Amino acid sequence: MNQAPGHALFRADASPDVGTGHLVRCRTLAAELERRGWTTTLASRDLPPELRHSVRGSEMTLIELDATSDAEAEHAVIAERIARPVTVAVVDHYAIGADWQRAAGAWAERLMAIDDLADRFQAVDLLLNQNPGPGPSRYRGLVPPAARILAGPTYALVRPEFAAMRLRARNKRAVQRILVFLSGTDPHDVTRRAAEAATARLATSEDIVKAVNARLMQSERELTDQGGLPGRPWYRHLLYAPGVETGYGAKTMPGAREGIEQGRYAEAEHEIARIADALQREVRLVDAAAGELERLGK
């Protein structure tokens, strides 16, 4: 990236289906760039009103995209609306891959992806996966050979106030409070189940807390399948992905729904079974996390 202050454009969405994590971590990176003199822009579809208001009240410029537009139209809108050349386009979106990124090269000097899944090729110069576990080798063949990979919690996009709290917490030997947070949206109320499992008597077992955190970070991956969706193996998330006819608009349980809508009932039945297996994996993970938390009260 250029040493002089530049312009970063972020492509991320937030909704009850997608959650808010993609947008929040993009804004964390944007705030640090703004502190260093950069200008920032967010291109997004269908932001909930409160998030739209929050972005408009910040230093970030918002480009609102039509939820029904295809990728070509999306790029045309961005290219028309950007106020100055884009130094780097940052994509944080499970439904966007190499085709979109290559097209973005028409209006951006460099491309970056923020990723969690390592489930598709990314045509970028820089890739960030802040999760524990996946090292650069996991992206072998999934990024261009010259791409730089930042992997692991060392590169976690954490707001300064949380980093400061972590420094203070290192001086405490006993665990006194646990914050359970799965996502900005939780339609199945999993957060409450996990929180209720923690009693007022918190033990000093830091290992248990680490184990619970490790399980919760795995929760999104349990909803993916290496086989991908029918006809689109590069999309591996079984609960939401772009619909075949909806552009980048998210569609819940796409394999089953599209099988039913298009009259491929045997395929739909197979997809329903795969979704059920994924949800059962998620339930087992949450139950295991709840069991670990229950141990803290004994």
Q: pLDDT (tens digit, 9 = 90+) per residue, 210-251? A: 777 777 777 778 888 888 889 888 888 888 788 777 666 678
**186-205 pLDDT, tens digit each:** 777 778 877 777 654 454 45
pLDDT at 247: 65
Residues of the chain with CATH 3.40.50.11190: 7-155
Distance CA(251)–CA(153), nearest Å, equals: 30
Return the SS3 of 90.
strand
Q: pLDDT tens digits, residue range 30-68?
A: 999 999 999 999 999 989 999 999 999 999 999 999 988
Topology of domain 172-298, per CATH?
Answer: Transcription Elongation Factor S-II; Chain A (1.20.930)
Ranges in the chain annotated CATH 1.20.930: 172-298
| CATH match for 7-155 among 3.40.50.11190, 2.40.110.10, 3.60.20.30, 3.30.365.10 | 3.40.50.11190
Q: Give pTM, 2 decimals.
A: 0.69
- Report which secondary-structure segment, H or E, holds 110: strand 108-114
Cβ-contact 93, 13 below 8 angstroms: yes
Beta strands in 196-283 (DSSP E): 240-242, 250-252
d(CA 69, CA 137): 35
Nearest-angstrom CA–CA distance, 68 and 251: 12
Q: How far apart are CA 1 and CA 80, in angstroms?
A: 23
Average model confidence (pLDDT) across the chain: 86
**CA-based Rg of the chain, rounded to a whole angstrom?**
20
